Amino acid sequence: MIELKGIEKSFGDNKVLKGVSCSFEEGKVNFIIGKSGEGKTVLNKCMVGLVEVDAGHIYYGNEDFTSMDRWERKKVRTNIGMLFQGAALFDSMSVEENIQFPMKMFTSLTKGERDKKTEEILEQVGLQGKSKLYPSELSGGMKKRTGLARAIALNPKYLFVDEPNSGLDPVTSIMIDKLVKQLTQQYNMTTVVISHDMNSVIEIADTIHFMSKGEFVWSGDRKSILTAQHPLLNDFVFASQFMKEIKDKFK
C-alpha cells in the first residue's frame, strides 16, 4: 500500500500540487486521472522521489519515504517498477539486456537463471523470440511491453505506469491495459496508473482519483464514475459524444 498525506509542490510561483492525500491499495489498479497540465506527472515523480516534495509525506507500507536518505530510498526503490510514457528503454541494449539489467545490478542470479527468468517474462508480455532486437527495431507497443517487462523483472511490490497507451492503437492499448491488470493481480502489486484515457479507466480501474488544479477532487471506482454528480468530473468523463450516449443508456 502507498499512502500520500498532504503532498505539496511548487515550481517558482506555480503551485502545482496543493495538498494531495489518498491511499493506493495492494493488488489493485489505482488510477489517477485528470486534464492535461493538472499535475499528474509531477505527483508521480514526487512519489518515486525524482522530484522532492515541499510538504507532506509518502508512505510505502509503514515507511516514510519522504524522510529517508539516499541509501534507505534505494532499498525501497528496488521494490518499485516504473513504465515510462516513452518506455525509456536503454538504447544501447537489446530487449533481453534491458530486462536483465536490473537483475544484473541488484541480484546475484547466474546467467542461466537470468536467461530463464527473462524467457518467462517475455512470454508473459508476449514478446517471445524478440529478445535480440534493439529498441530502435521495436514498434511503440513492443517498446511498452518491453518497458513493462523490465519494470516487473525484480517482482516489484509497487508499479507505476505513466500514460500506458498514449500513441497506441485501440487494440494494442487494451492489450497493454489488460497486461497491467493481470500482472497486478498475479504479483499482488500496488499499481498506480496515470491516464486521461477513459477507455482504460472503464476497462481496468479498481479505484479512481480525479485530479483538478493540484488536488484530488473526487475518488471512487469505475461504476460510480459514471453516475457521480461532480461537475468537473462530468466534464472530463463525458467530454466525448460517445460517452454521453453511454451515460444516457446507463440511466
Partner 1 sequence: MPIFSSVGKYSILMGRVFSRPEKFRVYPQLIIREMDKIGLQSVGIVSLLVLFMGAVVAIQTASNIESGWIPRWTIGYTTRQSIILEFSSTVVCLIISGKVGSNIASEIGTMRISDQIDALDIMGINSASYLILPKIIAAVFIIPFLVLLAMFVGVAGGASIAILSGNVSFADFEYGAQYDFRIWDVAYSVIKTLFFAFIMTSVSSYHGYNTHGGALEVGQSSTRAVVYSIVIILVADFLLTQLLLL
Q: Which residues bind Mg ion (CB under 5 A)?
A: 41
For residue 51 the three cell numbers come to 522530484
CA neighbor of 153 nearest in space, from 88, 195, 105, 84: 105
> Hey, is 90 helix, strand or coil?
coil
Binding track, positions 187-206, relative to ligand ATP; x by CB under 6 A: ---------x----------
Residues sharing a CB contact under 8 Å with residue 61, sequence separation 6 or more, in sequence order: 1
Which of 70, 39, 41, 30 minimizes the C-alpha distance to 159? 30
Q: Which does 73 bind (CB under 5 to 8 A by kind): Mg ion, partner 1, ligand ATP, none?
A: partner 1
Q: Which of 11, 37, 106, 239 binds partner 1 (CB under 8 A)?
A: 106
- Our finding on whether 16 is near ligand ATP (CB under 6 A) is yes
Query: Angle at CA 78, nearest 5°, toward 73 and 82?
Result: 100
- H or E element, residue 210: strand 207-212
Contact criterion met (CB below 8 Å) for 1 and 23: yes
Among 68, 88, 174, 232, binds partner 1 (CB under 8 A): 88
- CB under 5 to 8 A by kind: which of partner 1, Mg ion, ligand ATP, none does 106 bind? partner 1
Q: Which of 77, 145, 157, 209 binds partner 1 (CB under 8 A)?
A: 77
Q: Out of partner 1, ligand ATP, Mg ion, none, which partner does residue 55 contact, by CB within 5 to 8 A per kind? A: none
Q: Is 86 in the site for partner 1 (CB under 8 A)?
A: yes
The span from the CA of 162 to the CA of 86, in Å, is 9
Task: Find, among 81, 51, 222, 235, the residue nearest to 159 by Cα.
Answer: 81
Beta bridge partners of 210: 33, 218
Q: Which is nearer to Mg ion, 45 or 73 (CB)?
A: 45
| Residue 157 within binding range of ligand ATP, rule CB under 6 A | no
Minimum gap (Å) between residue 161 Cβ and partner 1: 12
Which residues sit at the interface with partner 1, rule CB under 8 A? 45, 48-50, 73-75, 77-78, 80, 82, 84-86, 88-91, 101-102, 104-106
